[in-house]
Chains A and B, each alone.
Chain A
Amino acid sequence: MSVIFSSKDRHLTDEELDAVVMGDGNAHASHVQECEACRARLEEMRAMVGSFREGVLLWSPSESKATTGVLRLAQDDGKKRYGWRMMPVMALAAALVVGVMTPHWMQERSANETAAKTMPGTGIAPMSQKRDMGHPQTQTVQTPAAQPVNDDALMQQVQQQLDESVPASMAPLTALIQTEDPHKAARQAKEN
Chain B
Amino acid sequence: MERAISSRDIGLLRDAHAGTTELDDVELLYRLYGAKVTRFLAFSLNDSDAAETLTQECFLKAYRARAQFRGECAVGTWLIRIAFNLMRDHTGTEKFKFWKRVRAQAVDVHEVGERLAGQQRTAESQMLTRERLAAVWAAVETLSARQRSVFLMRFVEEMEMQEIVEATGMQMGTVKSHLHRALAAVRERSAMGGLQ
Q: Which residues of A contact B156 (CB under 8 A)?
A: 52-53, 56-57
Name the prevailing secondary structure of the A interface residues.
Answer: helix
Complex CA–CA separation, A77 to B26 (angstroms): 12
Complex CA–CA separation, A60 to B35 (angstroms): 7
- Are the C-beta atoms of B161 and A48 separated by less than 8 Å? no
- Are the C-beta atoms of B30 and A61 separated by less than 8 Å? no
Total number of A residues with any Cβ neighbor in B under 8 Å: 36
Smallest Cβ distance from A64 to chain B, in angstroms? 11
Q: Which residues of A contact B104 (CB under 8 A)?
A: none
- Are the C-beta atoms of B60 and A56 separated by less than 8 Å? no
Complex CA–CA separation, A122 to B39 (angstroms): 87
- Report, as a range, how many residues of chain B touch the other chain: 35 or more
- Are the C-beta atoms of A14 and B184 separated by less than 8 Å? yes
Q: Which residues of B contact A117 (CB under 8 A)?
A: none
Q: Which of A's residues lie within 8 Å of B, judged by CB?
A: 14-15, 18-19, 21-24, 41, 44-45, 47-49, 51-63, 65-67, 69-71, 73-74, 77
Which 9 A-B pairs have CB atoms at the shortest separation, nearest pair first? A52-B136, A51-B132, A61-B38, A74-B26, A18-B183, A69-B56, A55-B133, A55-B112, A55-B116
27 chain-A/chain-B pairs, Cβ below 8 angstroms: A14-B184, A14-B187, A18-B184, A19-B180, A23-B161, A44-B195, A48-B136, A48-B186, A49-B186, A55-B116, A56-B43, A56-B112, A58-B115, A58-B116, A61-B39, A61-B42, A63-B34, A66-B30, A67-B27, A70-B26, A70-B34, A71-B26, A71-B30, A73-B59, A74-B59, A74-B63, A77-B60
